[in-house]
Amino acid sequence: MNTLQRFILAVIFSGSLAFAQTATKLPVEANAAASTALFPATPTVQNHEVLLASNASLTDVAGATSIPGNLLVKPVLVARKPTRQEVSVRQREAFYSLMAAEHGAALLDAWSTRDVLRAGGRELDPLVRPFAHGPGLYPALQVTPFAVDYFAAKMLRSNHAVLRKLWWVPQAVATSGSVYCGVTNLGNRP
């Protein structure tokens, strides 16, 4: 049996199962009783979205949402999208301070590169080399800090606890890298 035949067979079986299911309309009291009879351990849904088959319905009984359905389709509970984490004032101040230091370090790197090039040196970084002798050097060296700032901001608001605690690492690494390159450029003047 080849892949196409397996696919057709799967579509036929899934279609026949979908059309074989029927839903019955019951009054609210009977529907709640039927729900507990069909699914004795049916969870109540409070802060979750419910994905059901097209023929199933939800019933609100005594403030809780019960999930009636038939025996062939079980309801699927899907957690709502988690909310974004709040950023404290201290974290925001630290973020902007690191951002200023990072962009300042990139400016130092661009200035020192320009100074070395005026003295007869050459640019060794192949990504910066096309911009080294023109006016685009300063904006070209600001692209990476903007990308790192975006990444750090995403980490700062992440729902993952470890990422939330280490949001400052990319900015600190980028700042130290730019300072290192700037100081090395100043030490390599011919």
Give the span between the Cα atoms of 69 and 87, in whole angstroms: 42
Question: In order along the chain (190 residues), what is the average pLDDT of each group of 10 residues?
Answer: 75 57 48 50 48 45 50 66 82 95 95 91 88 90 95 93 93 96 86
Please indicate, yes or no, whether residues 28 and 64 belong to a single structural domain of this protein.
yes
Please indicate, yes or no, whether residues 117 and 157 belong to a single structural domain of this protein.
yes
Q: Which domain holds residue 123?
A: 89-187
76: which residues sit within 8 A by CB, 6+ positions away? 50, 51, 52
What's the pLDDT at 4?
76
75: which residues sit within 8 A by CB, 6+ positions away? 50, 51, 52, 56, 67, 69
Give the span between the Cα atoms of 82 and 63, in whole angstroms: 23
Tens digit of pLDDT for each residue in 156-186? 999 888 999 999 999 999 999 999 999 999 8
Please indicate, yes or no, whether residues 171 and 97 belong to a single structural domain of this protein.
yes
Please indicate, yes or no, whether residues 97 and 147 belong to a single structural domain of this protein.
yes
Overall number of domains in the chain: 2
Q: Is 119:187 a contact under the CB 8 Å cutoff?
A: no
Supply 175's token pair.
């700042």
Please indicate, yes or no, whether residues 102 and 143 belong to a single structural domain of this protein.
yes
Please indicate, yes or no, whether residues 94 and 56 belong to a single structural domain of this protein.
no
pTM of the model: 0.56
Mark which of 60, 79, 98 sits at the end of a domain: 79
Residue 29 forms part of a structural domain = yes
